[in-house]
Structures are given as structure tokens and as C-alpha cells.
């Protein structure tokens, strides 16, 4: 008997996940999206995997450009996460007008200065996975490493801090 998609989605909402901002710089603009499907794959070589919607613009641009950055968001970034998860969002730079950021050295993608960590990445390959693709990324640098701070977490459809309280709205 097949699993009901609504039941499947509700079950996965029970899983708390860290929140990252994936950004790509292409020749035209900066593209960004909020991601919660991030996992460490290997320490040697340093690899992470990120789940992206198949056929979505961020996956398309990442495949074309071949480089990106991931910022691990702090609890204070709940508004940033919401902005980048909305449909029809404008350029990443416009969504970050009041948030200090820099460009990662290798990918030249945006990373937040106040993130808990940021990874500069090169696309190893995209792997189809149902209605998503897994982007296997080789980490080429760590331009931000805070070594502390409260993480932003997604749980039951809401952004919360590590205690489960609604995350800050800075």
C-alpha cells in the first residue's frame, strides 16, 4: 500500500533540521534559497549533499555555474530564511540589504558575516531523487566560522531556536 503524501509530509515535519542559505553567483545576478536538507557526506575529501527541488531555478543555476556557497543560519536569521523560501523572490542582494555579507573566495557567492559557518563549494554532481535533486558539493573553503551561537532550526513548519522557541526576527 502506498504511503499517503500528506502523512509522509507530516511525519517529516517532526524532524528538526538546521537551516542554511544556499547562494549562487552567475553572470546576471545572485540567486539564493533556504535549504534544510543538508548533510555531511565525507571528511576526506570534504563533501556535503544538499536537496533542491528538481527543475527549480536554484538547481538550474547551480548546475550551469558549478559553484555555490552555504551559510549555516543563526537563530537571528529567521526573517532571512523566510525571505529566501518565498516564491518569486528578487535578487539575493536585495533580500540582504540590512544584513552584512561578503563573497566567498572561490565561488564568489554571498555568505552572511553573522552566520554560524559558511562553506564555499564546487558542484561535484547532481543526482536525481524523485521530485528533488541531490547536489553533491565539494567544500573548497570555510570563509565564516563563528564557533558558537544559537542555530536556526526548522521544526513542524516553523523556524525555532535550539530550545524550540520561535526564532528571533532580526
Q: What's residue 123's pLDDT?
A: 98
Q: What's residue 50's pLDDT?
A: 98
**The domain 5-160 is classified under which CATH number: 3.30.70.20, 3.40.50.2300, 2.30.110.10, 3.30.450.40?**
2.30.110.10
Structural contact between residues 110 and 127, judged by C-beta atoms closer than 8 angstroms: no
Q: What's residue 28's pLDDT?
A: 82
Starting at the edge strand that comes first in sequence, how are the strands of the sheet with 30-35 ordered? 30-35, 20-25, 67-72, 117-129, 132-145, 46-53, 38-43
Query: Domain extents for the chain?
Result: 5-160
> pTM score, two decimals?
0.94
Query: Chunked in runs of 10, what are the mean pLDDT values of the chain (170 residues)?
Result: 93 94 92 96 97 94 97 96 86 89 97 98 96 97 95 93 75
Q: What's residue 79's pLDDT?
A: 94
Q: What's residue 167's pLDDT?
A: 82
Amino acid at each position: 500500500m502506498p504511503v499517503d503524501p500528506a502523512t509522509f509530509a507530516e511525519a517529516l515535519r517532526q524532524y528538526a533540521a538546521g537551516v542554511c542559505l544556499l547562494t549562487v553567483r552567475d553572470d546576471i545576478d545572485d540567486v539564493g534559497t533556504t535549504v534544510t536538507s543538508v548533510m555531511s557526506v565525507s571528511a576526506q575529501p570534504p563533501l556535503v549533499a544538499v536537496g533542491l527541488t528538481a527543475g527549480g531555478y536554484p538547481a538550474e543555476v547551480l548546475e550551469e555555474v558549478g559553484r555555490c556557497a552555504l551559510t549555516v543560519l543563526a537563530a537571528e536569521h529567521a526573517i532571512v530564511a523566510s525571505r529566501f523560501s518565498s516564491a518569486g523572490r528578487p535578487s539575493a542582494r536585495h533580500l540582504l540589504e540590512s544584513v552584512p555579507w561578503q563573497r566567498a573566495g572561490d565561488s564568489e557567492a554571498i555568505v552572511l558575516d553573522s552566520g554560524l559557518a559558511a562553506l564555499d563549494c564546487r558542484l561535484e554532481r547532481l543526482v536525481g531523487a524523485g521530485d528533488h535533486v541531490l547536489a553533491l558539493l565539494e567544500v573548497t573553503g570555510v570563509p565564516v566560522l563563528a564557533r558558537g551561537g544559537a542555530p536556526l532550526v526548522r521544526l513542524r513548519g516553523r523556524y525555532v531556536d535550539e530550545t524550540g522557541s520561535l526564532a528571533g526576527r532580526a
